[in-house]
Structure formats: structure tokens, C-alpha cells
Amino acid sequence: MNITKRKTIIAGNWKMNFVDSLKFFEGLSGITIAEGAEVVICAPHTFLNYIGADALKYGVAASVGAQDVSAFGSGAYTGEVSGEMLKHAGASYCIVGHSERRQYHGETNELVAEKALRCHENGLIPIVCVGESLEQREQGKTFTLISKQVSAILNALTEEQLNKTVFAYEPIWAIGTGKTATAEQAEEVCGAIRNRIAKKYNEEKAETISILYGGSMNDKNAVELLSRPDIDGGLIGGASLDPIKFAAINKAVETAGANV
């Protein structure tokens, strides 16, 4: 975590879990949010237009994020939700290319890049997820794969759009498995993402982009992960459903910042 050059983001991904948001934010009231850090809750589409208000009721400064966006702008795409609609419903962030969408909905690097573009066209900050499967890691393919996933985004976005883009390294084998990447493994890949950005632009640019880690991050391992210089926050699934754990992860930002 580099607290001077870029924003620290602690983003919860509620996935398709029904959360009583009033209860959740009540549990988060009085939460410590480190200076310069931002809390984002990525909720199912149907929650978006009220969770911001629910957070405010309990004095929690949380930004609202969606979990997916249509690759199309508008029109006859039954069941799809556009970037414009997400923005209108109160979102300022949107996850794109989560491995669960790549895996269960066949999303390709190109489609993910299209979705990132739809985010930018509508003033949403995309949180672009990249990550390898266990098999790919064991075959030594991690870095080539990550580079491909990141390159598709870098090739599609303008520099100005990249400035407002967040990356998240989420190794598939660590998602929902309770098996976290070690801080060294997470740092290594987050560093590789930063190097890929530096290769296209320069190191100064790469230093300004927030890169998160996701995959079984919790109240126990957050400090260690967040203390690493290239890890600028977390994208948290399971532990973001529990306000006590989620608050502890936010508290860990301060402790980790002091460790940097």
C-alpha cells in the first residue's frame, strides 16, 4: 500500500447474497476509515438506489458500486443493465471481468474491455478483475495470462480513462476457498500489473493506479496483505457480508499504513 501516491480502496463485493443493508450499515456505524481511503460496497443491481442512503443514515461514508454492466449502451438487450442506469441508480464504481463472470458467463478479455469502456462513458470507475486458476498457476502461466488480461484493457482505454481505472488481482483458487494467496504471491502479481502499465506508459503513471487484492481477504490477514507496497486495498467477498469483519479490514488499513 502506498498511501502517498494513490487511493486505498476497500471494496466489498456482496455477490448474489441478500444483505439487510440497514442492519449492515448499523453494524458499520463508527467504522474507522483511514485518511485517503475509500469504502465501496458493490451490491446487486436492485440494491443500488437505496444503499447509499442507508449508509448515510448510519454516518458511514461508503461509495456504491455495481458488480457488472452491459457491454451495450442501450436498446433491445433483455435483462441487461446499462452503465447509464447504474450511474442513475447511484453507483460510482462497477466491477468488470470478475472471474465468476468470466467462468459462468463466458466473458472474454475483449468483452471485459468493452464493459470498462461503457463504465467510462457513464462516469463509472471500473474495477477490472484479473486472475489465474490453480491449474494455470501450476503450469507457470500466471504472468502471461495476467499480462494478456491487463493488456486488453490498456489497449482499449485512453490514458485519461486509465487514470480513472482500478485493477483487482483475484486468483481464482483463492476466491471463496478460505485459501488466501500469500502476501508475497499477491504482491508479486500486483507488481506485475503495475509493471505492465509502466511498460505501456511509464513508472510515474503506474505509481498512480490503485491495484487491489481479492481472494479470501479477511480480518486476520488484511494487515499483512495491505502492508505490501503494491497492494492498494482489497476486493472482499465473504468477509464483506459481516460488518464486524468488514470494519476490522478497514481498521487494518491504518495499521498497515503505519507499517509501510
Binding positions for ligand 13P, rule: CB under 6 A: 13, 98, 170, 175-176, 214-217, 235-239
Q: What are phi and psi of 102, to 5 degrees?
A: -65, -40
Can you tell me the distance from the alpha carbon of 245 to that of 251, in angstroms, rounded to the nearest whole number?
10
Least distance in Å: CB of 216 to ligand 13P?
4
Q: Where are the alpha helices (DSSP H) in the chain?
A: 21-28, 48-57, 83-88, 99-104, 109-121, 134-138, 142-156, 159-163, 183-200, 203-207, 222-226, 243-259
Nearer to ligand 13P, 58 or 67 (CB): 67
Nearer to ligand 13P, 90 or 214 (CB): 214
Contact 2, 226 (CB under 8 A): no
Residue whose C-alpha is closest to residue 182's, from 198, 169, 199: 169
Nearer to ligand 13P, 189 or 236 (CB): 236
In this structure, are strands 166-169 and 62-66 parallel, antiparallel, or unpaired?
unpaired
Least distance in Å: CB of 129 to ligand 13P?
7
Determine the residue with CB nearest ligand 13P: 237
> What type of residue sits at position 35?
E
Least distance in Å: CB of 251 to ligand 13P?
17
Nearer to ligand 13P, 150 or 168 (CB): 168
Residues annotated as catalytic (active site), given as ranges: 98, 170
Residues in Cβ contact with 57 at an 8 Å cutoff, skipping those fewer than 6 apart: 22, 25
Least distance in Å: CB of 170 to ligand 13P?
5
